[in-house]
Structure 1
């Protein structure tokens, strides 16, 4: 069950968003409960009863008394995990909201185009699995979807993300294979597993990832890599 809060002082607009969210969720067979609040004070009262009442909050920036940015600041002191999606007709206010770990912004003038993407991305995020790996610098907590690939180098497993390469204390690559084969990763050669979702293109005996990096593919693994790539492409 996904718990969603909508906070907007425009009742008509809030009801419209609620109906659209219900339509999208029903189409994807996702069970959810949607709660509506006409003021920031009403939304904050929900936090008086529970530590984390919502997985996702759609929050209007321009509201009387407490605006969306003020509400977000109070929420973040109580809850670091809820995904905040700001609704705004004042695009110049967007930059002020970055410090609240904002997940998405939706322009009210583009609601029909941007609402669906924001909801689908947020659902993917909250259902994403967080894994903990031991490194020489302590425990690394990372979402599976943030991992580009695993690589076995000099008897250590490395984790590559878009920004960093981490050296873990894992000594057996089979431990990675056993755990992540069912989580959207595919072996491209002995000692390297790639997140299928980040394969951008396939060459003769290599692949190119979304970050532009090229990796070799074993001749014996190529057919399976191609099948997985086509399957993901069709799904997307």
Structure 2
């Protein structure tokens, strides 16, 4: 699940962006929860309940009471990871936002053209986040692109990379599914999730990875695995 916040004081504009985002994530086969917020103060209140309530925030610069730059400054003190995308009709203030580690700027006059690229690029960025895993040998830092697959065995989640296999302290496979289900991984059976970018070929009820390892696929998951394989192949 990808959590997306949209903050703009124009309610009609909020509805329009929400509809476009829904169309884009649906085409990408990504499940997203979208939150519409019409002022910066309410956006910041979300951080009172959770350290990182959103994966992506679309933030209007020109808002009453508290503008988008003021909101971004407070957000960055709490959250250095959330992807910030500014919405603006004031192109002359864009340079002021660079210090907030801004991912993209979308000009409202070019919304149709720029929104899709910004969102797709954001989703790709999310797929290669760095994660810290607690393992039996201490903390392990991995980019998503380092991981071949996750597997649940003997009441623990194991991580397989090109370099080795690591036993984590994670005791529920659902915890992995909740985090990585929208980050380029596909379930091949109920206790294994594979990085879709490393599936080299499909068999009748198995797959071969780029390291030539063969893994079994549940017949109930095969169609989903095929769709994932085709999507990656088309992307090139």
TM-score, scaled to structure 1: 0.59
- For 2:163, which of 170, 175, 183 is the aligned residue? 175
Shift of 1:232: 7.7
What is the CA–CA distance in structure 1 between the aligned matches of 2:78 and 2:21, rounded to whole Å?
A: 26
Q: Is the 8 A contact 2:196 2:232 kept in 1?
A: no
Task: Report which structure shows greater RCO (CA 8 Å, sep ≥6).
Answer: 2
Shift of 1:142: 8.0
Question: 1:87 maps to what in 2?
Answer: 87
1:74-113 equivalences under 5 Å are 74-113=74-113
What is the CA–CA distance in structure 1 between the aligned matches of 2:83 and 2:17, rounded to whole Å?
A: 17
Question: 1:226 maps to what in 2?
Answer: none
Deviations 1:43-66 (A, max 9, x none): 011111111000000000000110
SS at match of 1:119: helix
Deviations 1:3-55 (A, max 9, x none): 00000001111110000001111122111100011100010111111110000
Q: Is the 8 A contact 2:197 2:232 kept in 1?
A: no
Question: 2:24 maps to what in 1?
Answer: 24
Shift of 1:118: 0.6
What is the CA–CA distance in structure 2 between the aligned matches of 1:120 and 1:43, rounded to whole Å?
A: 23
1:178-197 equivalences under 5 Å are none
What is the CA–CA distance in structure 2 between the aligned matches of 1:59 and 1:125, rounded to whole Å?
A: 18
Structure 1 pair 50–131 and aligned structure 2 pair: CA distance change class (3 A): closer
Q: Is the 8 A contact 2:85 2:103 kept in 1?
A: yes
Question: 1:156 maps to what in 2?
Answer: none
What is the CA–CA distance in structure 1 between the aligned matches of 2:234 and 2:49, rounded to whole Å?
A: 44
Unaligned runs of 5+ residues in structure 1 are 133-140, 146-173, 187-230
Larger Cα-atom Rg: 1
Q: Is the 8 A contact 2:127 2:144 kept in 1?
A: no
SS at match of 1:175: coil
Q: Does 1:73 align with 2:61?
A: no
What is the CA–CA distance in structure 2 between the aligned matches of 1:183 and 1:61, rounded to whole Å?
A: 36
Unaligned runs of 5+ residues in structure 2 are 133-140, 146-161, 165-194, 201-230
Runs of 4+ in 1 over 3 A off after TM superposition: 141-145, 181-184, 231-234
Structure 1 pair 131–45 and aligned structure 2 pair: CA distance change class (3 A): closer
What is the CA–CA distance in structure 2 between the aligned matches of 1:130 and 1:38, rounded to whole Å?
A: 31
Question: 1:60 maps to what in 2?
Answer: 60
Deviations 1:121-144 (A, max 9, x none): 101111214279xxxxxxxx7856
TM-score, scaled to structure 2: 0.59
> Over aligned residues, Cα RMSD in angstroms?
3.2
Question: 2:118 maps to what in 1?
Answer: 118
